[in-house]
């Protein structure tokens, strides 16, 4: 199965010059927590991504006014991406390897054509429950954290 068969098409996006407040409002209205960041409204080439967590850390935790924080200050540049022609299992491997739950989907010009979420794969991706469980564990595991009970035993 291909990514374009399960992705969210024509996703909401924002620009580096958008405010954190604008991005948060889009997220609230659409009930999402992730926005691709494109060059400008007329050039949908991907330049980064911003999450609800990014907005919280840069605005709320920093005690700053989200109307005066630009997305360029809090976005992640060079995000992991996939194409609509990629196999869903390849996309799942990318999510596991890079511990992300969402991937921007790009065309050959690096223009955003969609967003693929972990939930898209779990619900519509024809991937077994066992594979989904393994992937969720890999995505959710904090770096450097012990994964086996025996790793938790410390010397007395």
- 3-139: in CATH 3.30.70.1380: no
DSSP code for 10: S
Residues in the chain: 156
% residues pLDDT > 70 (the chain): 91
**Cα distances (angstroms) measured from residue 132 to each of 76, 93, 126:** 26, 11, 10
DSSP code for 76: B
Which of 32-36, 56-60, 84-88 has the lowest average pLDDT? 56-60
Output the pTM of the full model: 0.86
Per-residue pLDDT tens for 94-104? 999 999 999 99
Q: Which two tokens stand for residue 18?
A: 């958008």
Per-residue pLDDT tens for 70-129? 999 999 999 999 999 999 999 999 999 999 999 999 999 999 999 999 999 999 988 999
How high does pLDDT run on average in the chain? 90
Please state the domain extents for the chain.
3-139
Say what the pLDDT of residue 147 is: 46
Contact between residue 74 and residue 51 where contact means Cβ atoms under 8 Å apart: no
**Higher-pLDDT residue of 60, 47:** 47
% residues pLDDT > 90 (the chain): 79
Residue 102 bridge partners (DSSP): 117
Interatomic CA distance for residues 29 and 77, integer angstroms: 24
């Amino acid at each position: 199965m291909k990514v374009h068969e399960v992705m969210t098409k024509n996703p909401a996006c924002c620009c580096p010059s958008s405010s954190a407040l604008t991005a948060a409002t889009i997220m609230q209205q659409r009930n999402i927590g992730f926005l691709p960041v494109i060059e400008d409204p007329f050039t949908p080439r991907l330049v980064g991504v911003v999450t609800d967590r990014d907005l919280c850390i840069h605005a709320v935790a920093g005690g700053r006014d989200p109307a005066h924080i630009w997305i360029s200050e809090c976005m992640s540049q060079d995000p992991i991406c996939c194409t609509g022609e990629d196999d869903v299992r390849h996309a799942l491997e990318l999510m596991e390897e890079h511990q992300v739950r969402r991937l921007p989907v790009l065309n050959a010009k690096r223009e955003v054509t969609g967003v693929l979420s972990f939930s898209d794969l779990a619900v519509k991706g024809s991937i077994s429950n066992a594979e989904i469980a393994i992937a969720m564990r890999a995505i959710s595991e904090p770096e450097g954290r012990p994964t086996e009970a025996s790793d938790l035993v410390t010397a007395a």
